[in-house]
Structures are given as structure tokens and as C-alpha cells.
Structure 1
């Protein structure tokens, strides 16, 4: 039956009636003549860090009839690289690897880039590709609930002026990252300290540490970068080490400052820059083999680091104090040899006695000794549960917080069973800790685009990973990871309270990228816009 006059939209009013199959927003594709036009969708991404930048670049180039909004709580884009500005903050991945494949940067100042330079790079990419027009800053989304009947996510939050805001979208993407919500350490008396107190993730850049007596609690990645800088200006520095960490040489070699001639060479010969980038990406496959337990590569790596320790730390007693007793690679490696040099300086005390409590003027250790300080730095990390700061509610009123209360499990690090049309960057079981995040963030972003395109063309109302499929993926991940150093006995944020590895992909970063190239729709539960899916799938019944 031809459509009635009121069903015919103005832009196709001149077409013969039989050529138009009217379908409003959210109910499937439209057929104009013999051309399939995807359904109109709205996509919201929470977070304007690297993930948000990629979405703003890729969505308008990969999808049609999709509107995009990116919300971020900060006044600018950048995420981690905007927020983390502690002394020495940098990426320990080679700068030319920590780059977008579509916008390689010939202008990196050195082989490893600092936080501010990385932020400037991301900001320049956003400007070049007109990404910022999709971004709404100083806006905090607090709740997102899926309306099963309508097939949309309903969002609430707070705008730039404190006003309540609402929005809705067919597809919701989390670009909030795995390590975004920093936390104070759970130490008795922390609130009683009267001196200056700072967390590395919330650094006061205006405060001058020169001539101060400083305590740094923690020896993780941020501490290892901060301590060499603080040691140079502080009158005295106490470093509280709960457990030692492996500090190998930088994986891509020592830091090299690039000459203007080298940078110009890359500008003039982009094919050489691309080959340099590709070499890093290809090398991640061999790098992954180092993390296989008891493998020749891991044993050789350990021997190399121990030999290096003998050179850098001549005192055997001190060397023993900072040498871990667990497999190298079990915890996130922290390649920063200047840390090992800094903690041996005369104005530094490495304290391994456990902290008992904190008082107004310092730190009291378990042996009863008071260590007076002017400044307390906590380098104690983030909430590593993967549970986002936004309350996410999926099918049947199930919240992500509840679903992940025992263990954070998803599907391919990118989707979650019972949370339809919800995708995420850097979810559980991604190649965190192996190589540059950006190449596999591109892979996740492209995967999301392909899923959305499939939904548009096939009139899928919503999709979510099948519960059993997700269970099998996680069972396999746990079984595979038992063969790696990540399963050995160390305290690591990769593991949950029961020792299950919830963070790492069961394979190399390149393996992850290849696996995500083609979405396995058979792994998803699909709900179509029509009771009979073929009403839209077969449409007009014609081929041309």
C-alpha cells in the first residue's frame, strides 16, 4: 500500500509514492528509490580525552546520519594529559608511537614526550580536524539509564553554569578511561596533617617545593617520575616504599632530543615517519613475548635489568631493598632510571617501614618513629575497579556498579552484556601496559563505528553482548593469562581482590587490533525495530 500524503517527507515529495518507505527516527532505515539511507542516530561520548578526540575525528568521516555530542567535566580536552601535571609527568611510551595514525607528528621534541607536549599535540589535532565543535566542556554527566522501550539512553547531569541538563541518544560511549578517578590513600590521620598535601593527579603547580622537607607516599609510575624532580629542589625527601618496583631502561632506548634537521627530514619525507611509526607498532608483537612466564625472553630481560641494577646501585644492601621478589612485568613496568639515581642521593631517605598513621606535622611509622615534613605527596594511584564515575543503568535496572561489584567483566574490552548500545574505550581486558594506547583506541573506535553502521542498515534497535559469550571470553582470558607473568605473585592494579586479572587482553596489542577489525555479530543479542525484522531488511523487495 502506498504511503499516505502526510507520511511523505518534504525532501522526497517529488518521488513516486511507491518508491518511498517512510520510517521515522529510531525505527530503522529509510528507502528512497532504491537507495538505503541509514536511520538517524545520536551518539554521546562521555570524555574528551584521547578517546573523545578520536570519536570527534572519526564519526563524521565514517558514519552518515549520526549526530555527535562529547561531554567533558574539564574546561578543555585532553583528559589525562590535561589533568596530570605533576613534575616529570610524561609518557613512558615512545612519542612517535603515542601518535594517531592519521596525524603523525614530525615535531616531537624528543623520543619521550611530557604531559604538556602531548596535550598540545591532541589540541592541535582537534583544531585541524574541527573536533571541538562536538565538545561541551565543564559539563558533568552523572546518570545514564537505558530506556528499553524507546531504545535510547537518557542522560542527566550538570552544565557549565551549574544548571541541570538532560539529553538522550541511541548510542552511549564511555571515553572516561580506566584510570580517571584518583584517590587519597586509606591512612589513619591523613586529614590531621596541617602542612601542604597534594596528590600527584591533582598537583598544585603554583606551590614551590624549594627548600621544603617532603614525604612521598608510594613508588608507582607517577612517584617514579615525580621523585627525581622533587629531589633536586627539596631540602630533604622521604620516600615511603610499600613494595619495590622493577625499573628497567626505557623500552625504546634512552631519551633522544631530536634535532631540527631530523624533524625537517620527517616533514619532507612523511613516508619515513610512517615507517618509523609502523616499526613501533610491529615491535609490540615481539614485546608481548617478554611477558610470557618462564620464557627465554622474560629470563633474558630479567638478567639484563639485574645487571643494570649492579651498575646503577653499587651498594648491595640498598640494591636488595629496591629489587622486587616477583617476576619482572607482573606489575606495570616503570622505566625511569633517574628514579634509581635520585633515591640514592644524600637528601633522600628510602623508608620501607610501614606507615602507622599521620599526625599534624609528619608521618609515624610502625616502629614508632615520627618523620616530620612540611609537604605530603601521595602518589597512590586511582580507583582501578573500571567502574565509571557515571551511574550507568542497563536492562532490568541493572547498574554497572552492581554488575561489576564482584569482578569487572566485559566483552573484548569494548562492550558489556545487558548494557545495550553501550561501548567503552579501555574497558576490562584490553592491552593496557603493553604498548601505546592510541593504536588500539583507534581499533576500538573503528569497531564501534562498524557496530553502529550495522545497526543503522539492519534496523537494529539495540544490541548487547550475549551473557554466555561474554562469560566464555572472560573464562578464556583468565585461562590464557595464567601463562603470563601477570599471574605471578605481586600486588598489581591489574588484579582484583581475588587475584583475577581483569585488565589485560589475552594476547598482544596487535592481536587485539586484528581481532576487532570485524565485529562478530553472532556474539550479540540483537533486538530489531520491527516485530518482523524482514519488514525493514527486505524493504521494497527490489534490487535496483
Structure 2
């Protein structure tokens, strides 16, 4: 492990070369591959190959560019990381020389001091970062290959107790598979109950045309299980599902999963301090399972929400929700209406526009969008080559993607109480609004359409989407009509809007989201003394300490629970790892102390949630100017984590026993 603060300690990298594929390409082929690489990560690899950090003095560190910046103030084009073409050419030339020297030494990496590693961290972050951020980076990218988030239960007595602490996990998506991996490493027996026939969670269920993640794939993965073979920088749903399926198989989780089985109810038995979990399989057979702890990994976006529109059930054509797209459904040549213009619709509409005879987009509110020319871009052969063959390039590339998404725009989402503009929440937020408006203006020439697609709420008031120009281009096709009049009702033949017009269609696609404010819905969860979780949460007012534990519900843990959704804070994969780490540490506390249960103290829970509400209310998405799916019916933000991801990482590194009541 890098010992930050002990600059004289040498950091040996020889163990990492074993996992690298040999470089067999010619210098000409290598030079061509280098043209595709991330410059900051390449600089880091040069230092590791040579043991010489002098390049840090010759080229500035990577910089996060404004999302719509096409060039510098002087007009010179800036590439990824804020580098000029001359700077990139210099780095590539140094890299070509460093690779040749490294190969000549038999591909042995020279040792690097702890002080140099600290310099590399600061260089990639732009210099001025607090010391605990360095530890945060060190854990996230694990340059030495040590998984610092793995369970630490090595004491024989603790391992023995672990074997008698069965855990039930609900859901086999990202969080459930991760929890299974960590429990298996700790020697804790577990069962995963999954309602679908396969692994993947939301990525198993969402199979609509164009479905893909809007976080770079190379950071949308477990830190200890990188995937160097993504076909696209922002992978499609099937590829993501396959990744989690492969992880479940590799870490021997699959054999612990009961597929096509659903949890109906879970009740905490006070007498035995165990959870009694009622499940039903695909044939309707019911069974009760016992567990010492229950981990809910059902997430927030797993129950499709059909719109409450009069007459919807009378429609005689094809009616489908984006979150439950039937296998093999093809709407080519048909007249199709899409209800909604959020994240799913943003991906569906360009796909349907290509094949539908007519496409009617029924939009209640338009979306802000980040310019991202590479949103659909494939991962090039050079990038795959570097991830597999260049020393530590993959580690630093992941960190660059992670860091820029974590810190890039956080400050621009915070509200200024003295700012008085209904279109933004602060001067910085307004500058972003102007920049994003310019991006929309650059694509839409029709004034009428521009008025329809230009949001009139602050950026980040609702989810900002990734855009490479495909969406707005689709709206300008001859076979596409954007309708902003409210939907009045649905008839047998189509959709009637508030202007009285009937839009006759053959199919209706409801891209209308999920029951995001009904956590653990529709299960019945009963805690200590018969208290029902649904009643404690008043249906849609979910609250949990750190989004993980809930008073009155001993040994019940949530992954992606209330107020843990990330808006600007990076990859949800990182947050899942923080939460599972915390859960395993809680179980470790129980095993060490010989207690049966732990339960969050009410005062600790309440104080934390007051802080969550306070900070959320002072953000763009918490603004009273905006309605969004992040809020419940009372206007409280129940979905989003308002803190920086490093702050949440600190909160979840180790549970404080004083926060809990032990039995």
C-alpha cells in the first residue's frame, strides 16, 4: 500500500506487470495506437515505466474543460484534458520512447517513491487537493493491486461466527451481486432472491431500443473487476448486463441466486432476532426463508410507473412501458406515440424515428443536455491495447473518468440564496444555462421547435442527459412531430391532447419512469414490535441513516436506498461499493462483539436526515421552481445524495458503534 505521509518508502510495481499482455506491435503500430489515448493517463504510465517524474514539470496536469468549450480563449483547440495538439504530440513522443526503454529492460518497472505517488495524485487532480482526498484516490484505483474494500475478517473465531450468520439479499443487480461477492469473501453464507430469470437488475429489465448507460463504461464497473473490453465508451444495456453476469459467475455468486423468485414480505422475529422472509417462485409456490440479516438491493428504478391518463386501458394498439420492453417488439412502419421526454425517451426517440412511419413525441418538459460527441462512439483498438498492455494506464484512465465526473460541476448545482432568476439558481448555474442554451441553439434553427426543446428551469433541476446531436436531429425529421399540449385522455385509436386534437397511433410507448419514491415497494417489511416500514415511511417519504439503515428495523440494510441517487457525483458503482463496505463492517461489528442485532439510533438517523434535507433544499434539483422524480408528493427530495462523493465515502468507511443500539 502507498504510505501517504512516508515519502521515503519505495513503491514496488513488479507484481502488476504479471497481468499485462505482452507488447508485440511495431513502433509504427504503437504510435498509431497512442493517438487514441487519454493524455493524462498516458503521462502517468510514462512515469511508471521510466521511474522519472520530470515530465510533470514539462507538461501541465489534465484540466476539466467547460462542457461546451470548443477551444481556449485564444481560439486554440483544446483536446481532452485541456491539452493543445502540440502538448499531446510531445507526450506521445515521450511515451513511444518510454515504451521502448521499458521493453529493453525486460518490462520491469522501476520502484517509485511514496512522495512521487503523492505527486501523481495531486497532478491528476490539478494540484490543490486535501490530504484525505489522496487517500480516497489511493483506495479507489488501488495502484498496488490491493483491494482495500475487501472484507478483513481474518480472525479464526470471527470467521467461525461468520459461517453461522446467514444473509438474504433481495435483487441480483449491481448492488446484489456486489454484496454477494463481499459476503462470499468474508465467509458469510448468503442467498440472493431475484425476481427475474437472470442477473443484471435494471440492465436486465430495460431493453428498449438505444438503452445505454450515461456514465463511461470504464468507470461503471467494480473497482476490483475492470472490464477492458467494452465495445463502446458508453455501453449498451446488453453489454452491461453481460458484465454483471460474468462477474457473478467469476466470483461464484450465481450458484447462490434463486432466479424467478420474488420477496413478498419480510418480518423481523423479536424472539429469535431473525428475519423471516416469505418468497414466491414463478409457479406461485411460497416458502419462508430465515436470515440473520437482510440486504435490500432492489434499487430505486425497478418498478415501472404507468401514467395516470384517462382511457389508457381502452387503447387497442400496442401499449408498452420503456422499463418492460417486450422481447422482439418491432414498431417499424407503425405510427408511434412516445409519452415522456426524460432519460429513457431521450434514447428511444432517435431509434424509433429511424423506422417508424410517424412518431409523435408527447413532451411535458424538455431536458437539458450535456454535449458529448463520443456518446455513441466505439472504443478504439488503441484504447483497448493500452488498457491491456500499458503499465497502470487502466488505473489512471479510470481515475480520470471518475474524478472529472465527481468534481466537474458540483459547485454549479448549489443555489445562491441571493440569486433572483427563475431560470437558474446561482451565477455559476446561469453560466452553465447559457452554455447549454448555445449548444441547443447550434442544432435547432426552427424558432418554434427551439421554444419547445429549450428548458425553462435551472440546469440540474432535472436529470441532465448526454447528447451527441442525435436527439435533436431526430426531432427535426419529417416523420417526427413534437407535441407539448397536455394529454387529456387516450381513446381506442390514440391520444387526445388539450387542444382537442386526436393523434391516431398504432402504438404508445410510456417512457414515464418508475415508482422511485416508493422504496422497497411492493414488499411488506415488518420490523421490531410489528412496525411496518411502509407506514413508517408514509408510503413515499423514505428515510434512512446514510441511506443504509433504518430505526426499528434491526439488521436491515439498503443498497441504493433513500437519498443515495447520484446526480453529479460520479458512478453509482462507486457508491454501491461504499454502501456494501459499510454493511460488511456493520456485520463485522456484530460478529466481533457477539451481538445478535444492531439498530440505528433514532436521534442519529434524524440528525443525518435533517442535514440531507437542508443541503438538498439548497440545490438546483431541490429548488421550489422545479418538479422532478427526485421529489415525493410533498416536494421533499427523497432520491438524491446531496453531498460530494468523497464526503459520503468518509461517512461510510467504518460504522461508528455509538450510532447503533446493539442487542
TM bucket normalised to smaller: 0.7 to 0.9
Q: Does 1:118 align with 2:240?
A: yes
- Residue pair 1:48, 1:135 contacting (<8 A) in 2 also: yes
Deviation at 1:440, TM superposition (A): 0.9
1:130 counterpart (252, 255, 262): 252
Q: Aligned to 2:536, which of 403, 410, 426?
A: 403
Runs of 4+ in 1 over 6 A off after TM superposition: none
> How far 1:469 sits from its partner (Å)?
1.3
Residue 14 (structure 1) aligns with: none
State the alpha-carbon separation in 2 of the partners of residues 340 and 132 from structure 1. Answer: 42
Contact 1:199–1:379 (Cα < 8 Å) also in 2:
yes
In structure 2, the CA distance between the partners of 1:344 and 1:36, relative to structure 1 (3 Å rule), is closer
The residue number in structure 1 matching 2:651 is 515
Match of 2:228 among 106, 130, 133: 106
2:633 to 461, 475, 497: 497
User: Are the aligned partners of 2:375 and 2:466 in contact in 1 as well (CA < 8 Å)?
Assistant: no
Change (3 A) 1:49 1:35: closer
Question: Which 10-residue stretch deviates more, 489-498 or 429-438?
Answer: 429-438
Distance in 2 of aligned mates of 1:162 and 1:354: 41
Deviations 1:234-287 (A, max 9, x none): 01111101122212223x954432222321221123611111111222220333
Moved more, 294-303 or 328-337: 294-303
Counterpart in the other structure of 2:584: 449
Give yes or no for the alignment of 1:75 onto 2:207: no
Distance apart, 1:132 and its partner CA: 0.6
Matched, 1:325 2:325: no
- The answer to whether the Cα contact below 8 Å between 2:517 and 2:631 also exists between their aligned partners in 1 is no
Partner Cα distance (2:519, 2:235) in 1: 29
CA displacement at 1:479 relative to structure 2? 1.2
Q: Distance in 1 between matches of 2:279 and 2:161?
A: 30
1:212 aligns with 2:212: no
The 2-side partners of 1:36 and 1:439 are apart by 27
Q: Deviations over 1:272-321 (max 9, x none)?
A: 11111112222203332232124554333222211111101112232122
Equivalent position SS for 1:155: strand
1:188 to 296, 310, 313: 310
Q: Indicate the SS of the match to 2:448.
A: helix
1:51 is aligned, of 175, 187, 193, to: 175
Gaps of 5+ in 1: 1-28, 528-544
The Cα of 1:510 is off from its aligned counterpart by 2.6
Aligned-partner Cα distance in 2 for 1:236–1:160:
38
Alignment partner of 1:463 is 2:609: no
CA distance in 2, matches of 1:365, 1:37: 65
* Matching residue of 1:341: 473
Displacement of 1:101 = 0.4
Alignment of 1:211-230 (within 5 A): 211-230=333-352
Deviation at 1:229, TM superposition (A): 0.2
Q: 1:391 to 1:36 in 2, by over 3 A?
A: closer
Of the three residues 371, 377, 389, the one matched with 1:256 is 377
What is the rounded CA distance, in whole Å, between the counterparts of 1:193 and 1:386 in structure 2? 28
How far apart, CA to CA, are the structure 2 residues paired with 1:500 and 1:191?
31
Aligned 1:347-362 pairs, distance under 5 A: 347-362=479-494
| In structure 2, distance between residues paired with 1:270 and 1:305 | 38
Higher helix share: 2
Deviation of 1:421 after TM superposition, in Å, equals 0.3
Indicate the SS of the match to 2:392.
helix
Gap runs ≥5 in structure 2 = 1-152, 416-424
Structure 1 segment 220-369 matched on structure 2, within 5 A: 220-250=342-372, 254-269=375-390, 271-283=392-404, 284-293=406-415, 294-295=425-426, 297-336=428-467, 337-369=469-501
1:530 counterpart residue number = none
**Cα separation, 1, equivalents of 2:510 and 2:158:** 60
Cα distance change, pair 255–35 in 1 and its aligned pair in 2 (3 A): closer
Question: What is the deviation of 1:501?
Answer: 1.2
Of 283, 301, 311 in structure 2, the residue corresponding to residue 179 of structure 1 is 301
Contact 1:156 1:165 in 2 (8 A): yes
Does the 8 A contact of 2:519 with 2:562 survive in 1?
Answer: no
Cα separation, partners in 2 of 1:431 and 1:138, compared to 1, 3 Å: closer
C-alpha separation in 2, matches of 1:255 and 1:288: 25
Separation in 1, partners of 2:633, 2:440: 31
Aligned to 1:419: 553
Q: Which moved more, 1:468-477 or 1:230-239?
A: 468-477
Q: CA deviation at 1:176?
A: 0.5
Quote how far apart the aligned CAs of 1:404 are. 1.1
Please state how far the C-alpha of 1:204 moved relative to its aligned partner: 2.0
CA RMSD for the aligned pairs?
Answer: 1.9
Counterpart position of 2:207 = 85
More strand as a share of residues = 1
Is 1:380 aligned to residue 512 of structure 2?
A: yes
User: How much has 1:384 moved relative to structure 2?
Assistant: 1.4
2:161 corresponds to which residue?
38
**Higher RCO, 1 vs 2 (CA within 8 Å, ≥6 residues apart):** 1
Distance 1:340 1:397, change over 3 A: same
